[in-house]
């Protein structure tokens, strides 16, 4: 067989290229061959990296879920606190307003009911739950503000009653001299009596007829004849005076409550015997105490 030299020369470059490619492939395959001969080491490393990434993602997802659960628990605790506060306010309002506790029982859910709508659906996603909680939170906050305003109104009404003079300045006794024109017991002449005299035994308690602040005690210049005097400012233009006391139990600046003992009956000053001279002033002017005396009797 005769070999054509020209054909050999033509195929030599092609063969060289093929051998080169095979060599490169063999070298690459050898380099990727794992030591145990089962799987390429670089592929195992890549899978390991992917696994770590997925594990980190799972840990973050779990952490986010736990954080959301904690946030949800905190929100529920806050809402429960709101409900407890509203219950307490409601009970206070019931007591202040003297409402029927059986009708306004804030210790139990309000009686409601009705058929379930076919459109009613349970929330399917956490976002729906959060939206519902936000809406409930807003409603509770609005209701709390409304009830607080109502409570303030009721308390204000109660305080108005507390600071408005009413009742007798002694627990037991009798009236010896009314308000207005009378015959002066010392001169026998017609004179104006600016208060009401209540007689009782020496040492009997003198009571504040309304809550307020003590503004005068003892004998006062310009108040001749009152003897040992107590004056109380009740606000809203009202003041009261208690004269002829034997012993005073309060001092200027003291806050007193309705019914509190402020002095003991005596006969100091311009007096014919143990009694308390009682005056009611409105905007600095004495008024007939009759309507206030009879207010709670």
Q: What span, in angstroms and rounded, lies between the C-alpha atoms of 31 and 40? A: 9
Domains of the chain: 72-107+125-163 (no CATH), 174-296 (2.70.70.10)
Q: Is the pTM above the cut of 0.75?
A: no
* pLDDT at position 198 over 70: yes
| d(C-alpha 195, C-alpha 178), whole Å | 7
- Per DSSP (E only), the strands in the chain are 174-177, 180-183, 190-193, 196-199, 205-207, 212-218, 228-235, 238-248, 255-256, 261-265, 275-282, 285-287
Assess contact for 263 and 278: CB atoms under 8 A.
no
Query: Is the per-residue pLDDT at 254 higher than 90?
Result: yes
Tokens read off for 257: 């409550």
Closest CA to 72 of 127, 130, 123: 130
22 pLDDT exceeds 50?
no
Exposure string for 18-46, b = 16+ CB within 10 A, e = fewer = eeeeeeeeeeeeeeeeeeeeeeeeeeeee
Is the distance from CB of 89 to CB of 148 less than 8 angstroms? yes
Rounded to 5°, angle at Cα 214 from 209 and 216:
115
Regarding predicted confidence, which is higher, 161 or 293? 293
110 vs 252, more confident: 252
More confident residue, 31 or 81: 81
User: Strand 228-235 and strand 275-282: pairing?
Assistant: unpaired
Most confident of the ranges 20-29, 121-130, 167-176? 167-176
**Integer Cα distance of 218 and 250 in angstroms:** 10
- The H helix count followed by the E strand count for the chain is 4, 12
Distance (Å, whole) CA 47 – CA 231: 93
63-94 pLDDT tens trace: 777 777 777 777 777 776 766 666 666 666 66
Spatial CA neighbour of 243 closest among 185, 293, 296, 193: 193
Q: What is the mean pLDDT of the chain?
A: 75
**How far is it, in rounded angstroms, from Cα 117 to Cα 274?**
78
Say how far apart CA 77 and CA 85 lie, in whole Å. 12
Q: Compute CA distances 100 → 91, 95, 96, whole Å.
A: 11, 9, 11
Cα–Cα dist 231/203, whole Å:
19
């Amino acid at each position: 067989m005769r070999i054509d030299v020209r054909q050999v020369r033509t195929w030599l470059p092609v063969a060289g290229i093929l051998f080169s490619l095979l060599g490169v492939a063999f070298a690459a395959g050898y380099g990727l061959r794992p030591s145990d001969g089962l799987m390429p080491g670089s592929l195992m490393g890549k899978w390991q990296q992917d696994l770590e990434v997925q594990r980190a993602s799972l840990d973050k997802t779990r952490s986010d879920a736990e954080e959301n659960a904690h946030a949800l628990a905190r929100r529920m605790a806050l809402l429960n606190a709101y409900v407890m506060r509203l219950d307490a306010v409601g009970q206070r309002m019931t007591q202040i307003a003297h409402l029927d506790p059986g009708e306004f029982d804030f210790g139990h859910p309000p009686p409601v009911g009705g058929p379930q709508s076919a459109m009613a659906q349970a929330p399917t996603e956490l976002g729906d739950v959060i939206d519902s909680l936000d809406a409930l939170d807003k409603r509770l906050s609005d209701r709390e503000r409304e009830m607080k305003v109502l409570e303030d109104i009721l308390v204000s009404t109660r305080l108005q009653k507390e600071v408005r003079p009413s009742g007798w300045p002694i627990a037991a006794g009798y009236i010896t001299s009314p308000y207005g024109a009378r015959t002066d017991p010392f001169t026998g002449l017609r004179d104006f009596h600016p208060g009401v005299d209540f007689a009782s035994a020496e040492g009997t308690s003198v009571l504040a007829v309304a809550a307020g602040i003590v503004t005068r005690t003892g004998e006062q210049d310009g108040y001749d004849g009152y003897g040992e005097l107590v004056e109380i400012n009740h606000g809203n233009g009202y003041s009261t005076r208690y004269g002829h006391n034997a012993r005073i139990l309060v001092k200027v600046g003291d806050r007193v409550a309705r019914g509190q003992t402020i002095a003991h009956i005596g006969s100091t000053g311009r007096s014919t015997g143990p009694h308390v001279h009682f005056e009611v002033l409105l905007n600095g002017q004495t008024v007939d105490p009759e309507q206030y005396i009879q207010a709670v009797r």
